[in-house]
Amino acid sequence: MQAQVMDAPEQIRKFAEFFERTYYADLVERARKGEKFLIADFQELAKFEPALADLLLEIPEEALKASQLAIEQFDLPGGNNKGFTVRFKNLSPSSQIAIRDIRSPHLGKLLFMEGVVRNKSEVRPHVTTARFECPSCGNVMQILQLDNKFKEPSRCSCGRKGKFRLLSKELVDAQKIVLEETSEALEGGEQPKRLNILLKNDLVSPMTEKRTNPGSKVLIVGVLKEVPIILRSGGQSTQFDLICEANSLEPREEDYSDLQISPEDLHEIQALAVDPHLERKFIQGIAPSIYGHERIKEALILQLLGGVRKKRDDGVVTRGDVHILLVGDPGSGKSQLLKRISKVSPKGRFISGKGVSGAGLTASVIKDEFIGGWSLEAGALVLANRGICCIDELDKMSHEDTAAMHEALEGQTITISKANIQATLRSETTVLAAANPKFGRFDPFDTIAKQIDLVPTLINRFDLIFPIKDLPDRAKDEKMAKFVLNLHQSLVTEAELKTPLLRKYIAYARQHVFPKLTEGAIDELKDYYIQMRSQGGKEGGIKSVPISARQLEALIRLSEANARLHLSDKVTKKHAKKAIELLHHCLTLVAMDEETGTFDIDRIATDTTASARNKIIIIKELLVDLEKKTKPVPMQDLLLAASEKNISESETEEIVQKLKRGGDLFEPKAGFVQRL
């Protein structure tokens, strides 16, 4: 093979020629800034000199050293030509390897692999070379430190053995990360394999470190090396450990701020923003393989765009993420919607309730063999930071586990105090959750609010709640059947708006559009809020609470998302109206009190509705009056008095049982009740 023939001076000469021709301006610029690395494209090198490219893949250590020496020949500004590292990217596909496929023939080769960062250590100084002096003859020896164990010279040319004096040592910043295979690459029930990666110098600079946070998807180009395992007895094991010394690192999974938008894309985005059918195209493009659910799809688009996150000068942060809950009958397409949204969103994660624990959602503290001591392992809500987390089967999770979500949904942080770790993790995550009703399917004769079997405090944190009922309707069923059958016949979904453009549009809107509320929008939202608050049905002195300030904040977020959809930097009256329409639609479905025809947020926000709470107060008042006549009060008298106030016997008995459980009443003897 020609690659093996090229000697060292020839390699240096070729590299110098290559850099001068392709990267000279870049080198000068980096030297001027004081940066000590150059990013080179492997494909360019392969075009320039294929033999050198082959050499780089086969014996990378030697070739990378030659590239470093080649740069030292240049006259760079400030004399900064020493210690430059060349980082290669865009390797040929033949060099890609899956972590599970690494074997001993790959040792010492330049490879690239993809994976998710599971864990990372602190950045610590690492010795690369050490210089020793012989006390007998004054000879200075330089020893390269490649292993984990600090190496000293064994003997000097003058015959002396041991006891050498350390003159100096060269240190570089180093950090270890654990790279794990991505779940897409797994087949069947395999456990994802892991590999230790060593990062040095500029790969651990504060800017790059953000890209290697646990949960990030990265592509690593590096040289595979073996590390001796030292046994407890002090001897060396016959088995070796693997480590990959990274040459370059690229983040793979972008959040909205990382998506690159070319001038052609920008032109397309701006043309789409002024399209009169923008909403229809988005609704159709968001989930083309799911029939109907226009209102829900509209809400999902607004969720992907999100409101504006605001940080005030007093340190209070208001979230911009819109959380949505879908509660529906089985087979109504909830999971499909969630799966699709997790694919459209740049940093989407899909998890299913039954296999989720509270620690898996937030973060867990684990005993770490790799770093030693305890370390944090991020859960789904942290990994989806600045993205979207789709939680299916929310009702199948235990109440202890759903309690872990409270802080993440409203405060957008996750606080951990376990073992010796006290940490606050960021989880600026949008949550889209799906659940089934309490008995598996909606009961058409009961109110929807009673059938959502979730903690009221958790439900209250969702901005929009959509119940999806699956009721037979001949005309609708015919269309639905036709749609599903056509979908199975042809695998091509005909959407006017293709997914890549949809993602770029959303990314552009989130990066560049930060709409502000106008007076018109403020008046519109204020009028709706006041009008709804004054609508509370007055029953015996108790007013139901139609909507709370949380819904007002949800309206602001939805209005901002609407403005973002049209790439508008102002939230106008029109955007506010659209948001009101959507929220009103949700409230009509879940918070309408059928008895009084008014809205009552307590139907979903607490277990007791305003009308039920009102009846409890009436029963308590009746008891006080009746106790003035006889004590204890006969149940018969109470039932009679309650029926005059239009409270049925069954309702009265239910309320009495509730008060007994709560410790407000007791039964001194059968058929009598008395207040405590």
How does DSSP assign 483-511, residue by residue?
A: HHHHHHH------SS-HHHHHHHHHHHHH
Give residue for tokens 């989720």. 356
Backbone φ and ψ of 74, nearest 5°: -75, 150
The size of the chain, in residues, is 676
Angle in degrees, 0-180, between the axes of helices 499-512 and 294-305, rounded to the nearest 10? 50
* pLDDT score of 498: 79
Question: Encoding tokens for residue 525?
Answer: 């939202």
CB within 8 A of 430, min separation 6: which ones?
303, 304, 306, 321, 322, 323, 387, 388, 389
Task: Identify whether the C-beta of residue 252 lies closer than 8 Å to the C-beta of residue 112.
Answer: no
Question: Encoding tokens for residue 5?
Answer: 């023939």
Number of neighbours of residue 34 by Cβ within 10 angstroms: 9
* pLDDT score of 676: 74
* pLDDT score of 495: 67
In angstroms, the Cα distances linking 189 to 185, 186, 192, 326 are: 12, 8, 9, 30
* pLDDT score of 541: 47
Q: Is 278 exposed, middle or buried (0-12, 13-18, 19+ CB in 10 A)?
A: middle
Backbone φ and ψ of 365, nearest 5°: -105, 125
Which residues are registered as beta bridge partners of 328? 468
Backbone φ and ψ of 95, nearest 5°: -90, -5
Q: Is 419 left (phi over 0), alpha (psi -120 to 50) or beta?
A: left
In angstroms, the Cα distances linking 318 to 204, 362, 411, 433 are: 32, 20, 8, 21
H or E element in which residue 673 lies: strand 672-675
Q: Is 282 helix (H, G, I), strand (E, B) or coil?
A: helix
pLDDT-flagged residues of the chain (< 50): 1-4, 539-541
Task: Identify whether the C-beta of residue 218 lies closer than 8 Å to the C-beta of residue 179.
Answer: yes
Mind listing the pLDDT tens digit for each residue in 245-300?
Answer: 888 888 876 556 666 777 887 888 888 878 788 888 888 888 777 887 888 888 88
* pLDDT score of 63: 85
* pLDDT score of 3: 44
H helices present in 39-128, as ranges: 42-48, 50-58, 60-72
Q: What does the alpha-carbon distance between residue 468 and residue 462 come to, in Å, rounded to a whole number?
A: 16
DSSP string for residues in 247-267: EEEEE-S--TTT----HHHHH
Question: Encoding tokens for residue 380?
Answer: 């789904």
Domains parsed from the chain with CATH numbers: 2-90 (3.30.1640.10), 111-251 (2.40.50.140), 263-301+318-507 (3.40.50.300), 516-605 (1.10.8), 610-675 (1.10.10.10)
* pLDDT score of 187: 67
Give residue for tokens 């989130």. 510
